[in-house]
Amino acid sequence: MSTAEISGEDFQVRFWGVRGSVAAPGPSTARYGGNTSSIEVRCGARLILLDGGTGMRYLGNRLVAEAPLDADILFTHTHFDHVCGLPFFKPFFQPQNQFRLWAGHLGAGMTMHRVLHELMMAPLFPVPPGVFRAKIAYRDFKAGDALTLASGIAVRTAVLNHPDGATGYRIEFGGKSVCYVTDTEHVPGNLDRNVLALIAGADIVIYDCMYTDEEYAKSFVGWGHSTWQEGVRLCQAAGAKKLVVFHHDPDHDDDRLDAIGREVEAVMPGAVMARDGMVLKF
């Protein structure tokens, strides 16, 4: 996809990182990709980025040619796998660009500005955010708030169930909707009301499908993640149209994800497994 193909009122989603928790590059994950969470959303001429994992570096390398950029970056939360691409995002080094960084999960004196400064601090990182030349504004809000990014783009948010908090998003544009719901843990047998309300009738739901139900019950209760089966249950209960299986376990190699994909397809035709480079258009 070249940016020249995007025009008018197009609404599309491109995946640059689909892996959960830690990057997992290598031959066994090459087909689905090993980059952590990074998604590009185009609402007509408006650019919205979701999270800043390692995939964001590749996205940034593509975006430098589009400067001047004016974009919003929505963070589910600031666990390392969702922010570690930020220092390597080349458009931050271009003075003609401006970005707004949105986060709804912080509190108790913590801000998105402070998170970025602590991420890029000795002895963890060689240079501070002062090396950036773009104009960066910080938009801390409370998960559950509605956000105004631009006219014609409605963004709703919801509290997710994750250690240190996380925010789910629903972006509506041109009568279509995409929801981004990661990282979140479900309570078995009890569909999350916040998630159900957020994704009701949505066209696309990108959901934290880190585990299978079996893996979750056996080893991962309390780790803050969900399962593809719960994603199916939520989408079916909420009347959502397409599930995108996302935030893959770094220990799930390509063959394993192929097998999971077949299981998902059998119970929810049209669902897709997220992979680096995948583009969904409305």
81 lines the binding site for Zn ion (CB under 5 A)? yes
Q: How far is the CB of 106 from Zn ion (least distance, A)?
A: 13
Q: Which is nearer to Zn ion, 94 or 226 (CB)?
A: 226
- Beta strand residue intervals within the chain, DSSP E: 11-17, 38-43, 46-50, 70-75, 98-103, 135-140, 146-150, 153-160, 166-173, 176-181, 204-208, 242-246, 272-273, 279-281
Q: Looking at the DSSP assignment, which residues form a beta bridge with residue 160?
A: 166
Q: How far is the CB of 49 from Zn ion (least distance, A)?
A: 16
Q: Which is nearer to Zn ion, 40 or 81 (CB)?
A: 81
Considering Cα of 112, then 248, then 162, then 169, what sign does the dihedral take?
Answer: positive
Among 14, 19, 42, 79, binds Zn ion (CB under 5 A): 79
Q: Which amino acid belongs to residue 70?
A: D
Residues 88-117 that bind Zn ion (CB under 5 A): none
Is-contact 33 54, C-beta < 8 A?
no
Residues 154-193 that bind Zn ion (CB under 5 A): 183
Q: How far is the CB of 152 from Zn ion (least distance, A)?
A: 30
Query: What's the token pair of residue 189?
Result: 């047998």
Residues 115-134 that bind Zn ion (CB under 5 A): none
Residues 13-42 that bind Zn ion (CB under 5 A): 20
Q: Which is nearer to Zn ion, 43 or 244 (CB)?
A: 244
Residue nearest to Zn ion (CB): 79
Is-contact 90 194, C-beta < 8 A?
no
**Can you give the binding site for Zn ion, defined by CB under 5 A?**
20, 79, 81, 183
